[in-house]
């Protein structure tokens, strides 16, 4: 039963900014943006896809895609440059290599400061100056920045990730004909955020399938688990007969025993 359609597509995070609404990083505009970004990601980290909730309390940070310290005047309140992330991604994993990136971007920073025309407070789209800076940043970081993601410089293909249910790992999307360069970029991103590392690997889907097996194939559609992949999996099995759901979960569970408990 487990075939290629059990690759779960991690969605693009594309916030739709409302006309007339003030967005930013601080104060009321920051609250407005946080609300929108939580809605856009279904309240999940845009980098590791963990649920941004601890018990009944929301956690997570507004996160600058391109580090604001590169140019605080223009990047701090730049709305398209702000994503939402869990504390671990924002304060630890994404900071790996940060100082080296910033040092290598000195020339790109100078060009950006000379060319950028706004103060960052009214933007709701990536301006041309920001796009140029983002392009240079991505060359140095090989991170799939959020929101809006990243496209390959040469292939112009959107960099997307899938979750392989059977092998319990995140992989470059098989829906695209990626070049070796593209695959290397996406895999670097996966490694940057330790998505497949033993100590960080999510067990959310493994826990979900165990619960489904214990309930003889039943599950609650609105139940919350600590990673977005469970929501995506539930969308896949929506409408499937209970017996088929049970058999599928049993297959995944058998594989999970090897992957998580060996």
Q: What is the residue range of 107's domain?
A: 11-164
pLDDT of the residue at 84 = 98
Whether residue 31 is found in the same domain as residue 149: yes
Whether residue 94 is found in the same domain as residue 220: no
Buried b (16+ CB within 10 A) or exposed e, 85-103: bbebbbeebbeeeeeebbe
Distances (CA, A) of 108 to 18, 80, 154, 188: 31, 18, 19, 22
In this structure, what DSSP letter does residue 54 have?
Answer: E
Q: What token pair was written down for 32?
A: 């407005």
Residue 182 in any domain: the answer is no
- Segments in the chain below pLDDT 50: 1-2
Q: What is the total count of domains within the chain?
A: 2
Question: Token pair 């075939």 is at which residue?
Answer: 3
Question: Token pair 């992957």 is at which residue?
Answer: 259
Q: By C-alpha distance, which of 43, 20, 46, 21 is closest to 32?
A: 21
Phi and psi dihedrals of 246, rounded to 5? Answer: -60, -45
Whether residue 17 is found in the same domain as residue 137: yes
């Amino acid at each position: 039963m487990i075939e290629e359609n059990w690759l779960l597509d991690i969605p693009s995070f594309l916030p739709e900014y409302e006309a007339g609404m003030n967005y930013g990083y601080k104060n009321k505009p920051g609250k407005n943006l946080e609300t929108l970004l939580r809605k856009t990601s279904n309240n999940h980290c845009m980098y590791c896809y963990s649920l941004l909730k601890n018990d009944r309390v929301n956690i997570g940070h507004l996160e600058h895609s391109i580090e604001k310290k590169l140019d605080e005047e223009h990047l701090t309140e730049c709305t398209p440059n702000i994503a939402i992330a869990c504390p671990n991604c924002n304060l630890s994993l994404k900071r790996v290599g940060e100082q080296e990136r910033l040092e290598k971007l000195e020339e790109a920073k100078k060009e950006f400061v000379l060319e950028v025309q706004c103060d960052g407070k009214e933007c709701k789209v990536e301006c041309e100056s920001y796009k140029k800076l983002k392009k240079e940043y991505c060359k140095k970081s090989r991170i799939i920045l959020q929101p809006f993601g990243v496209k390959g410089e040469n292939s112009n293909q959107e960099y997307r990730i899938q979750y392989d249910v059977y092998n319990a790992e995140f992989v470059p999307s098989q829906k695209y004909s990626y070049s070796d360069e593209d695959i290397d970029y996406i895999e670097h991103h996966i490694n940057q955020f330790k998505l497949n590392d033993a100590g960080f690997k999510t067990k959310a889907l493994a826990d979900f399938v165990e619960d489904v097996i214990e309930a003889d194939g039943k599950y609650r559609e609105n139940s919350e688990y600590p990673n977005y992949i469970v929501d995506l999996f539930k969308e896949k099995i929506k409408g499937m007969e209970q017996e088929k759901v049970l058999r599928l979960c049993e297959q995944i569970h058998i594989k999970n025993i090897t992957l998580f408990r060996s």
